[in-house]
Amino acid sequence: MNHAPEKIEHFGQDEALVLDSGVKLGPFSMAYETYGELNNDKSNVVLVCHALTGDQYAASTHPITGKPGWWSRMVGPGRPVDTERFFVICPNVIGSCLGSTGPASINPETGEPYGICFPVITINDMVKAQAQLLERLGIDDLFCVIGGSMGGMLVLQWAASYPEKVFAAAPIATAARHSSQNIAFHEVGRQAIMADPEWCGGRYAQEGRNPKKGLAVARMAAHITYLSENALHRKFGRNLQDRDAVTFGFDADFQVESYLRYQGVSFVDRFDANSYLYVTRAMDYFDLAQAHGGALAAAFKGTKTRFCVVSFTSDWLFPTEESREIVQALNANAANVSFVEIETDKGHDSFLLDEPEMIDAMDGFFRSAARARGLEDQGKGSHG
Amino acid sequence: MNHAPEKIEHFGQDEALVLDSGVKLGPFSMAYETYGELNNDKSNVVLVCHALTGDQYAASTHPITGKPGWWSRMVGPGRPVDTERFFVICPNVIGSCLGSTGPASINPETGEPYGICFPVITINDMVKAQAQLLERLGIDDLFCVIGGSMGGMLVLQWAASYPEKVFAAAPIATAARHSSQNIAFHEVGRQAIMADPEWCGGRYAQEGRNPKKGLAVARMAAHITYLSENALHRKFGRNLQDRDAVTFGFDADFQVESYLRYQGVSFVDRFDANSYLYVTRAMDYFDLAQAHGGALAAAFKGTKTRFCVVSFTSDWLFPTEESREIVQALNANAANVSFVEIETDKGHDSFLLDEPEMIDAMDGFFRSAARARGLEDQGKGSHG
For B201-218, write each residue's pLDDT tens digit: 999 999 999 999 999 999
With cut-offs at 50, 70 and 90, classify the pLDDT of residue B383.
very low
* Below-50 pLDDT ranges, chain A: 1-2, 379-384
Residue B179 confidence (pLDDT) above 90: yes
Interchain proximity A184–B256, CB inside 8 Å: yes
Quick one: pLDDT at residue A6? 81
The A residues from 239 to 268 touching B (CB cutoff 8 Å) are: 246, 248-250, 252-254, 256-257, 260-261, 264
Residues B68-97, mean pLDDT to the nearest whole number: 98
Question: Shortest Cα distance from B325 to chain A (angstroms)?
Answer: 15
Interchain proximity B187–A217, CB inside 8 Å: no
Position A380, amino acid:
K
Quick one: pLDDT at residue B123? 98
- B2 vs B67: which has the higher pLDDT: B67
The 8-class DSSP code of residue B264 comes to H
Listed residue (B180, B206, B202) closest to B190, CA to CA: B202
Residues B93-119, mean pLDDT to the nearest whole number: 97
Quick one: pLDDT at residue B18? 97
**Among B120, B236, B250, B315, the residue to mutate for chain A (most A Cβ within 10 A):** B250
Position A146, amino acid:
I
What percent of chain B stands above pLDDT 90?
96
Of B23, B220, B256, the CB nearest to A191: B220
Interchain proximity A221–B221, CB inside 8 Å: yes
For A22-41, write each residue's pLDDT tens digit: 999 999 999 999 999 999 99
Backbone dihedral angles phi then psi of residue A311, each to the nearest 5 degrees: -135, 165
Residue B382 among the catalytic residues: no
- Residue A128 forms contact with B (CB below 8 Å): no
Quick one: pLDDT at residue B4? 63
Residues of B in contact with A191 (CB under 8 A): 216-217, 220, 261, 264
**Among A179, A248, A258, the residue to mutate for chain B (most B Cβ within 10 A):** A248
Quick one: pLDDT at residue A1? 45
Residue B163 confidence (pLDDT) above 70: yes
Q: Across chain B, what does the average pLDDT equal? A: 95
Could you give the dihedral angle defined by the CA atoms of residues B370, B373, B378 and B379, in that order, rounded to the nearest 10 degrees?
40
The B residues from 11 to 50 touching A (CB cutoff 8 Å) are: 20-21, 23
Where in the sequence numbering do the catalytic residues of A fall? 149, 315, 348
Residue B62 among the catalytic residues: no
Residue B384 confidence (pLDDT) above 70: no
Quick one: pLDDT at residue A254? 97
Quick one: pLDDT at residue A3? 57
Quick one: pLDDT at residue A56? 98
Residue B376 confidence (pLDDT) above 80: no
Q: What is the ipTM of this complex?
A: 0.94
All structural domains of chain A, each given as residue ranges with its CATH number in brackets, are: 7-178+286-373 (3.40.50.1820), 183-279 (1.10.1740.110)
Position A11, amino acid:
F
Tell me how far apart the alpha carbons of residues B384 and B74 are, in angstroms, rounded to a whole number: 10
Task: Give the side-chain half-sphere CA count within 13 A for B185.
Answer: 22
Quick one: pLDDT at residue A377? 57
Interchain proximity B236–A180, CB inside 8 Å: yes
Tell me how far apart the alpha carbons of residues A297 and A84 are, in angstroms, rounded to a whole number: 35
Tell me how far apart the alpha carbons of residues A257 and B357 are, in angstroms, rounded to a whole number: 37
Chain A residue with minimum CA distance to B187: A257
DSSP code per residue over B306-345: EEEEEEETT-SSS-HHHHHHHHHHHHTTT-EEEEEEE--S
For A300-347, write each residue's pLDDT tens digit: 999 999 999 999 999 999 999 999 999 999 999 999 999 999 999 999
Chain A residue with minimum CA distance to B219: A188
The B residues from 51 to 110 touching A (CB cutoff 8 Å) are: none
Strand partners, A24: A18
Residue B378 confidence (pLDDT) above 60: no
* CB within 8 Å of B223: residues ≥ 6 apart: B260, B263, B264
In terms of pTM, does the model score above 0.80?
yes
Q: Report which secondary-structure segment, H or E, holds B107.
A: strand B106-107
Chain B residue with minimum CA distance to A190: B250
Residues of B in contact with A249 (CB under 8 A): 120
Residue B41 confidence (pLDDT) above 60: yes
